[in-house]
Amino acid sequence: MGYLFHLVGPPGSGKRTIGLKLSALTGAVLLDNPLFNDAVFRPYGADGLRSIPEEIHVLATQVRKLGLEAARLAPRDVSQIFTSYLTNRPSGPAALQLVRNLAAARDVRYIPVWLECDVEELERRLSLPERLERAKLRDPAILRETLRTSGMLSAPPDAIRIDTLALAPADAARLIAEHSGALF
């Protein structure tokens, strides 16, 4: 049986880092946000510091839809890891349901994972060099404003909750794999 792991957390919480470790443990394919966004953000010149206009986000949404359709067509034994920052805005619950529906359509086990981290640590992580390489958010002021205005979608009852300040990425990945039964 395949798995669809859904790592949800604010920018800087370690979604990609844990996803890479989880992929190594389980063989699941990592489909993180930059995989979809970079096709549009890079040509635009996104640098993780300036805001990205709405029309660029619309294009990124189109790319993401294509990626989700390809994921839906994957064989059932292919496990996948998606990463998301889901806010309290209406798009947050809708995106959560979209990924749940994808797992149901593929007839694979859905594993929601909520990553939490202290805001000061999130801000510190924004300066890490790999964030520049992936055109990820790097401005602490934008992070604070995003968290203040959009918040974070509450974890569903079936979510695995992990404090990424208290648990190293490899340990978090092992916990997720063991809890889900996906450890090979």
pLDDT in tens, 118-173: 999 888 888 887 776 666 777 888 888 888 898 899 999 999 999 999 999 999 99
Q: Map out the domains of the chain as residue ranges.
A: 3-179
pLDDT in tens, 12-42: 899 999 999 999 999 999 998 888 888 898 8
Q: 3-179 belongs to which CATH class? A: alpha beta
CA pair distance 9, 33, nearest whole angstrom: 12
Chain centroid, CA 139 distance in Å: 19
pLDDT in tens, 87-115: 999 989 999 999 999 999 999 999 999 99
